[in-house]
């Protein structure tokens, strides 16, 4: 039998695939990287990068509107959506060289463009070329899931893959889906001058997050003018470009019609597995994508899968983490397993909502002995100085076990995505929140809210009876 051409062949040039390919090459492996479009994937072209760029432009517009609060008078912002989107594309162009074919070829990787498929358990064919490798990694990512709604195919609907290419004005936008993608785009377009409707089947937005924190985000967006239609399903869509109507079925049985110039579908994502020839490779595919074990091996033990194509936790940082697990298994035969217990995420609205570990409701559902300790941004001096404390009613919430070990945390407020990382370490390392109290936090910073939440646990245990014992044992003379 002929010797395989490569040590490892990575299929897909998104976050997971690029991390796996670069890591393998740096470790001395002979690597092939296959991508059908452009290196960089969803995150660079249609996800994290453009959405955060759009959100920042929207935040600038909102800052101008609110400037009078700070003693600075300004004219209402004049928004040119075409120029906003040009800036979004310029940010993509600035980052794109980091993921260029030249960079990866410079690492010694054989970069191949085109659509291919497995033709056997150990061979992948692309065009006239058949690539063989000791190990394969499927990292083909995901794409927007399109709901089967009568009439939707007859209107020019948007997804996250097309919305950042808009150049015309968007007077009114209907968004299907109240998850992170839908909610971020809702706030961005509202701040950029559009009327926005959000339609969500659930009774609340951001269903995977702490309910109390999600409500704060809801309240902020509603105060800015986003119109929510919760516990509602979309029955039919009609119209044409610039004049779209959507018929809703509300939870109580009533019907309602809303109108918009544009409609965006943000109801979830599906794994990119079609046309890969997984059956020929002996790779089982289920509803969620490629089936893997805890070591990210597929049903063909020489083929691994990582990132959106195999995970329900579809975050760029999770894809990069999983790529590292794959390399430890595929190259070094180490029994590395995915630990999803401390996976953080953040919805980058204003306020941001970040989370790691268990929510309060999850701890309750698991019948754990848990405690909840919290601190409010209203009591944070930096938040007061920057004028955000009174707008958001945000907080840091810590969920601990009865010994003080951190089980999970939620932060909703300014820069929550940055503040959560201190808490990620505690969840990952099974540490107690008392460890935070022993670390000096700079004053005045937003990070002090984490310290105050940790201190809240100690204060909760300082009961009148315990204070009596302290004053007695140490001969104190307090009242």
Strands (E) in 19-100, as ranges, are 31-35
What is the distance between the alpha carbons of residues 464 and 458, in angstroms, rounded to a whole number?
13
Core vs surface per residue 138-157: b (16+ CB within 10 A) or e:
bbbbbbbeebebebbeebeb
Kindly report, as residue ranges, where domains of CATH 3.30.390.30 are found in the chain.
345-464
CATH class of 6-39+100-144+270-330: alpha beta
Is the CB of residue 435 less than 8 Å from the CB of residue 456? Answer: no
Quickly list DSSP for 5-32.
SEEEEEE--SHHHHHHHHHHHHTT--EE
How far from chain centre, in Å, is Cα 334?
29
- pLDDT for 459 equals 86
Strands (E) in 219-351, as ranges, are 227-229, 232-240, 243-250, 255-260, 262-265, 269-271, 285-286, 289-290, 303-305, 345-347
Q: Which two tokens stand for residue 254?
A: 């009533």
Kindly report, as residue ranges, where domains of CATH 3.50.50.60 are found in the chain.
6-39+100-144+270-330, 152-267
- pLDDT for 125 equals 97
CATH class of 152-267: alpha beta
Q: Which residues pair with 286 in a beta bridge?
A: 289
Is the CB of residue 208 less than 8 Å from the CB of residue 312? Answer: no
Averages of pLDDT over runs of 10 residues in the chain (479 residues) are 91 97 98 96 94 98 95 95 97 96 97 97 96 98 95 96 95 98 98 98 96 97 97 95 95 92 96 97 96 97 97 94 97 94 97 97 96 96 88 90 97 97 97 95 97 92 71 73
182: closest CA among 172, 168, 196? Answer: 196
CA atoms within 13 A on the CB side of 139: 38
Q: Which residue has the tokens 């692309």?
A: 126
Looking at 2.40.420.20, 3.90.1150.10, 3.30.390.30, 3.40.50.300, the CATH number of the domain 345-464 comes to: 3.30.390.30
């Amino acid at each position: 039998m002929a010797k395989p051409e490569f040590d490892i062949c990575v299929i897909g040039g998104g976050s997971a695939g690029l991390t796996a390919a670069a890591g393998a090459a740096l470790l001395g492996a002979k690597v092939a990287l296959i991508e059908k479009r452009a290196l960089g994937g969803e995150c660079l072209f249609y996800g994290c990068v453009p959405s955060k760029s759009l959100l920042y432009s929207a935040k600038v517009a909102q800052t101008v509107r609110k400037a009078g609060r700070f003693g600075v008078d300004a004219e209402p912002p004049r928004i040119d959506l075409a120029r906003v989107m040009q800036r979004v594309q310029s940010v993509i162009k600035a980052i794109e060289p980091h993921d260029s074919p030249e960079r990866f070829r410079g690492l010694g990787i054989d970069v191949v463009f085109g659509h291919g498929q497995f033709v056997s358990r150990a061979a992948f064919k692309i065009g006239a070329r058949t690539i063989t490798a000791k190990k394969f990694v499927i990292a083909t990512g995901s794409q927007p899931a399109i709901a089967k709604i009568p009439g939707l195919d007859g209107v020019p609907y948007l997804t996250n893959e097309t919305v950042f290419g808009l150049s015309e004005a968007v007077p009114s936008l209907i968004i299907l889906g109240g998850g992170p993608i839908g909610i971020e785009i809702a706030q961005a377009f509202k701040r950029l001058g559009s009327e926005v409707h959000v339609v969500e089947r659930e009774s609340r937005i951001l269903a995977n997050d702490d309910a109390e924190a999600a409500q704060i985000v809801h309240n902020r967006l509603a105060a800015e003018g986003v119109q929510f239609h919760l516990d509602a399903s979309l029955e039919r869509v009609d119209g044409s470009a610039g004049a779209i109507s959507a018929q809703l079925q509300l939870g109580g049985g009533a019907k309602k019609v809303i109108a918009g110039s544009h409609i965006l579908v943000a109801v979830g994502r599906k794994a990119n597995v079609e046309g890969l020839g997984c059956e020929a490779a002996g790779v089982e595919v289920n509803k969620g994508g490629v089936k893997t074990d805890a070591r990210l091996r597929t049903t063909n033990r020489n083929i691994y899968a990582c990132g959106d194509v195999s995970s329900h936790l579809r975050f760029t940082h999770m894809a990069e983490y999983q790529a590292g697990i794959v390399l430890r298994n595929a190259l070094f035969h180490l029994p590395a397993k995915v630990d999803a217990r401390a996976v953080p995420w953040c919805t980058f609205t204003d306020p941001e909502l970040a989370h790691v570990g268990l929510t309060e409701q999850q701890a309750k559902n698991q019948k754990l002995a848990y405690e909840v300790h919290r601190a409010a941004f209203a009591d944070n001096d930096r938040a007061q100085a920057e004028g955000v404390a009174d707008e958001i009613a945000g907080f840091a919430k810590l969920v601990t076990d009865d010994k003080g070990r951190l089980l999970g945390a939620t932060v909703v407020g300014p820069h929550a995505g940055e503040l959560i990382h201190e808490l990620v370490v505690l969840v990952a390392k099974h540490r107690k929140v008392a460890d935070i109290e022993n670390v000096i936090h700079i004053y005045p910073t937003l990070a002090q809210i984490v310290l105050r939440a940790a201190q809240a646990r100690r204060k909760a245990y300082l009961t009148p009876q315990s204070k009596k014992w302290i004053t007695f044992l140490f001969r104190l003379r307090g009242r």
